[in-house]
Structure 1
Amino acid sequence: MANGSPLLSIQHVSKDFYGNVVLHDVSFDLREGEILGLVGENGAGKTTLMRILFGMPVIAETGGFQGSVIIGGSEVHFSSPFDALDAGLGMVHQEFSLIPGFTTTENIVLNRESMRPSILNDVFGDRMSILLRDKMRERAEKAIGKLGIELDPDMLVSEMPVGHKQFTEIAREIDREQTRILILDEPTAVLTESEAEVLLQTLKRLASEGIAIIFISHRLQEVLAIANRIVVLRDGHVVKDTPNEHVSMRDIASWMVGRSLGETGARSEGRKFSDIALKVHHLWVDMPGETVRDVSFDVHKGEIFGIGGLAGQGKLGIPNGIMGLFPAGGEVILEGNTVPLNAPAKALAMGMGFVSEDRRGVGLLLDESLEWNIAFTAMQVHRQYLKKVLGGLFSQRDERAMEDLCKEYVSLLDIKCTSTKQKAKELSGGNQQKICLAKAFAIKPSLLFVSEPTRGIDVGAKKLVLDTLHHYNRDFGTTIVMVSSELEELRSICDRIAIVDEGRIAGILPPTADISEFGLLMSGAAMEAVNA
């Protein structure tokens, strides 16, 4: 890591955003070749700070900011992200910004395509230039090669698993030759542990070539593994700026939340169940990027049943198929009744709920209020939060009941918002995830599928979400099927954990099983041993 004057200096930055002061006099430096770990709870101000740094329009639209941003010794005033890109900043956002109908290659070189002039250029300008697709593909393969992973340059983004989308985003920034500062906002949130390890090694390699990196993550072990220095934000203040020396996960967590947090471990208690709530026989699902070939398992009534496995092996496809979001076949039986597949409304009406891993694409009505988001499914499926008018001739929304419902979940899940009337798109990613959970809880399901419930959520909020799932399971008897890329998360809350490999259940283990047993199932080694 190079020493000397800072490549980037953020000085006394403050920001009032959507009625809240979310940044208070924030200052820190970033040097060439340095990896800075930026951590904090959801709502601490991390994403807003990066939006300021990257010249996002929402900052100017909400009154700008106080303070200054200095790059290479000169103060900068970005009016758009294009200005930031020209200055050598690259950013990978928490939510994807890819074009679904374009290929990996086309997204990586977007707006910087390799072209040669045609004879029509003199008349019609550069837009008549001819794309050099071989050159574009070569550039894309070079950027992908730097990541050290396998990506199909010709695959459409719409057909990719989420992990591949994240690598495509990062490859796009690597392809920009002028990139001097790379900002990554939760880059590993959708990656498996093996994919995340590849990414961390790639970032270290980029830093050794002189690129300065701001690494934002809720996976504290990754911050400790990669960062040269750690900056902690809490309630918009920098509460810690320290070299990564003799720092533990417990230290960072305590700085983030202002209190000590206990370590989570494997669930030790063994609960006994008798009745079967859900039977899944020979399920297949046609979901892009997911392989669900022949999945069979039973879930006991009152159980928290976990499903884990590597990306693309089928774990996310299972709930999406059962709930009718993608074409599926096989047999699913809920409490003795056959669940009609490919019919989401019927699945919900039978008493099943679903929290999707894609909170923005599937989970939320981004332009509607929190009240409307939380009550929507209960209103549509069970006709709740409606009141009859004109003797029952018509129904209209019961605004008071919707507000009361929303307040209940804002309190229960500690959702950081200005009011229940706030639009869902204005919340931080972690608080949006809590709204998705609240929407599912509001229909009082007998069985709840939860996919990646803590994706992009900080350590304090993660414990809150897991505690809430535990609370609904214990106090209301809700049967829960939880899909997660975080094995330790599954081990902390589940009664049993199924590992999916190549579209089938490789095995089902108790949470107390040795970690190596889970690793064998994920790698396919256990199945190979059986078939040997």
Structure 2
Amino acid sequence: MSLLQMENISKTYSGNQVLKSVTLNIKAGEIHGLLGENGAGKSTLMNILFGMPVIHSTGGFEGNMTFDGKPYLPKTPMDAMKMGIGMVHQEFMLIPGFTITENIKLNRENTKDTFLSKIIGPKLEKLDLPKMKEESKEALNKLNMTVDEYLPVAGLPVGYMQFIEIAREIDKTNLKLLILDEPTAVLTESEAAQFLEVIKNLSNMGIAILFITHRLDEIKQVTDSITVLRDGSLVKSIETKNVDIVEMARLMVGREISFETSNKKEIDLDEKPFLELKDLYVNMPGEKVKGVNLKIQKGEILGLGGLAGQGKIGISNGIMGLYPTQGTILKDGKEMPLNNPREMLNNSIAFLSEDRKGVGLLLDEPIDFNIAYTSIEIQEKFIKNIGPLKIVNGKEIKSHANKMIEDLDIRCTGSNQYTRFLSGGNQQKVCIARALTLNPEILLVSEPTRGIDIGAKKLVLDTLVKLNKELNMTIIITSSELAELRQISDRIAIITEGKVQSILPPDASDEAFGLAMAGKDISEVVD
């Protein structure tokens, strides 16, 4: 009998159906892998399972769920936790100023009686710190962690934080199902190996694990069965022993993806490269680059693809100097200074980060200033001189912002709206507008369509193609969605384990891409 049954789950956002009759079954103590590219519907399915408010505030969902033999319809995450479902999110939910123990026991603190509590009531009980430390230590021991439970979380390595998140969940006495969303993305190889052993131990304790990851080797290593989603639909549910890594990749990518390869440029690799990376190393947590060599030609659209955690995102971040970088970067034969974002901008290299809130936006500033501020700082655009004074030309900024709002269909109340109050997709469009305002020779775009609806995705991709064709702009696009890379790229470099595994034409076979993503030799399937 299944511990969890999700039957015919469908969900629509603003007329866009993101889940289409998806069914998922998980047994007690089972490790179940959930696979799919970005945008496949995994997060929406988990939001429904965990009772996230975004589901109910947008019209709810269709379908039925049962958990532990009972009808299940959580309205809040608290409802899910009361039923015995825990979740470790991609983004840490820890309080840095608290100790490890305080984070593990938050909202479930051990208390003991005081003289006043016996008279007035339990609100005047005091914390039973020895008991809290004892239980926290017990949870950490189950994860084979030797860290002192009284240490503050602030300053700990990200790998430790991931284990503390899990310790908090397994400290709950009624835990029956634990959802892990990309849990190894921030871990080193040794930490990831330790983590997989922890998952097996939890399974042996009778706790079911729903393991969401793009790392197919980990899925193959620890899961009992897998479910694959693509474009909001169920592709296949199968026991892991009956499928190999290559087939998993092919199921994720799919064969019915439509893409155009016409009008793609023939890249002359004998010409002098416009941008060249030599032995590039980037120390970006979860996306480390370990010796990439690449030559990008003038006017090329180069796609960077691969599975999550393999280093593709680290390349553009390293070029821009946002994480410690070693190696050599040459632009038009000139060596670029490393670890210096301003110099990269001065050399006409612009970057659209995948982290729109952390890097791309000034959340408490209006749209028009967000679009213009980098150009004001680096290029002194939107500046007018009044005698010896230089002042910002607000009228010109607003006029330019209104044009970008129209061109990119940014849904807002006006150019003076603060970006914090935009939807995720519209925040992403503001980031794109800011990068385009620099009129760069080289544009690095990382996950440009993440969080954007289908119609807006086409608009963004069409904009990149237009910039490339009309301005001969060199574009390096990093994306977890292979379909969009195949749609607009001249060549696609697949990054595996921090290095270039293969460089493929966009019309290469699904099998070739699947093998490359799995780190396998593709010589037998590529002419």
Indicate the TM-score class for this superposition, using the shorter chain for normalisation: 0.5 to 0.7
Aligned mates of 2:446, 2:254 — CA distance in 1 = 29
Residue from 353, 356, 359 that aligns with 1:362: 359
Across the two proteins, how many residue pairs are aligned to each other? 443
Within a 5 Å distance, the mapping from 1:435-474 to structure 2 comes to 443=438
Matching residue of 2:107: 111
Within a 5 Å distance, the mapping from 1:143-158 to structure 2 comes to 143-158=139-154
Within a 5 Å distance, the mapping from 1:465-504 to structure 2 comes to 476=473, 488-492=497-501
Q: Does 1:34 align with 2:30?
A: yes
Give the direction of change, closer, same or farther, for the CA distance of 1:356–1:40 in structure 2 (3 Å limit): same
Matching residue of 1:23: 19
Matching residue of 1:177: 173
Residue from 70, 73, 77 that aligns with 2:69: 73
Aligned mates of 1:434, 1:220 — CA distance in 2 = 31
Within a 5 Å distance, the mapping from 1:201-350 to structure 2 comes to 201-259=197-255, 348=345
Aligned mates of 2:218, 2:376 — CA distance in 1 = 41
What are the Cα deviations for residues 424-451 of structure 1, in whole angstroms up to 9, with x where unaligned?
6545xxx999987886576455788999
Matching residue of 1:165: 161
Aligned mates of 1:32, 1:76 — CA distance in 2 = 16
The alpha carbon displacement at 1:51 in A equals 0.9
> Equivalent residue of 1:491, what SS?
strand
> Equivalent residue of 1:398, what SS?
helix
Q: Does 1:135 align with 2:134?
A: no
* Higher mean C-alpha displacement, 145-154 vs 360-369: 360-369
Is the contact made by 1:370 and 1:406 (CA closer than 8 Å) also made in structure 2? no
Give the direction of change, closer, same or farther, for the CA distance of 1:423–1:369 in structure 2 (3 Å limit): farther
What are the Cα deviations for residues 329-380 of structure 1, in whole angstroms up to 9, with x where unaligned?
xxx99999998999x7787556565666755433456799999977764466
What are the Cα deviations for residues 167-191 of structure 1, in whole angstroms up to 9, with x where unaligned?
2222211221211001111111222
What are the Cα deviations for residues 91-130 of structure 1, in whole angstroms up to 9, with x where unaligned?
0112222223222222121111222222332566444332
What are the Cα deviations for residues 465-488 of structure 1, in whole angstroms up to 9, with x where unaligned?
9xx9xx99xx7568999xxxx753
Give the direction of change, closer, same or farther, for the CA distance of 1:234–1:339 in structure 2 (3 Å limit): closer
Aligned mates of 1:492, 1:376 — CA distance in 2 = 38
Matching residue of 2:94: 98
Give the direction of change, closer, same or farther, for the CA distance of 1:340–1:239 in structure 2 (3 Å limit): closer
Give the direction of change, closer, same or farther, for the CA distance of 1:385–1:204 in structure 2 (3 Å limit): farther
What are the Cα deviations for residues 215-235 of structure 1, in whole angstroms up to 9, with x where unaligned?
111112222222211111122
Aligned mates of 1:333, 1:250 — CA distance in 2 = 35
> Equivalent residue of 1:97, what SS?
coil
Which consecutive residues of structure 1, in runs of 5 or more, have no partner in the other structure?
A: 262-268, 280-284, 290-298, 327-331, 409-420, 495-514, 516-532
* Higher mean C-alpha displacement, 5-14 vs 270-279: 270-279
> Equivalent residue of 1:29, what SS?
strand
Matching residue of 1:266: none
Give the direction of change, closer, same or farther, for the CA distance of 1:454–1:45 in structure 2 (3 Å limit): closer
> Equivalent residue of 2:80, what SS?
helix
Aligned mates of 1:132, 1:169 — CA distance in 2 = 21
The alpha carbon displacement at 1:256 in A equals 2.2
Q: TM-score, normalised by structure 1?
A: 0.63
Give the direction of change, closer, same or farther, for the CA distance of 1:274–1:37 in structure 2 (3 Å limit): closer
> Equivalent residue of 1:15, what SS?
strand
Matching residue of 1:401: 403
Is the contact made by 1:370 and 1:424 (CA closer than 8 Å) also made in structure 2? no
What are the Cα deviations for residues 135-170 of structure 1, in whole angstroms up to 9, with x where unaligned?
323332322222234545344434234333222222
Is the contact made by 2:275 and 2:297 (CA closer than 8 Å) also made in structure 1? no
Q: TM-score, normalised by structure 2?
A: 0.64
Is the contact made by 1:38 and 1:215 (CA closer than 8 Å) also made in structure 2? yes
Q: Does 1:50 align with 2:69?
A: no
Give the direction of change, closer, same or farther, for the CA distance of 1:356–1:236 in structure 2 (3 Å limit): closer
Aligned mates of 1:13, 1:288 — CA distance in 2 = 35
Aligned mates of 2:432, 2:474 — CA distance in 1 = 17
User: Identity, % of aligned pairs?
Assistant: 41
Aligned mates of 1:165, 1:387 — CA distance in 2 = 49
Is the contact made by 2:363 and 2:420 (CA closer than 8 Å) also made in structure 1? no
The alpha carbon displacement at 1:275 in A equals 11
Aligned mates of 1:370, 1:259 — CA distance in 2 = 40
Is the contact made by 1:9 and 1:69 (CA closer than 8 Å) also made in structure 2? yes
Is the contact made by 2:320 and 2:351 (CA closer than 8 Å) also made in structure 1? no
Is the contact made by 2:28 and 2:208 (CA closer than 8 Å) also made in structure 1? yes
Matching residue of 1:64: 60
Aligned mates of 1:200, 1:148 — CA distance in 2 = 12
Aligned mates of 1:270, 1:191 — CA distance in 2 = 36
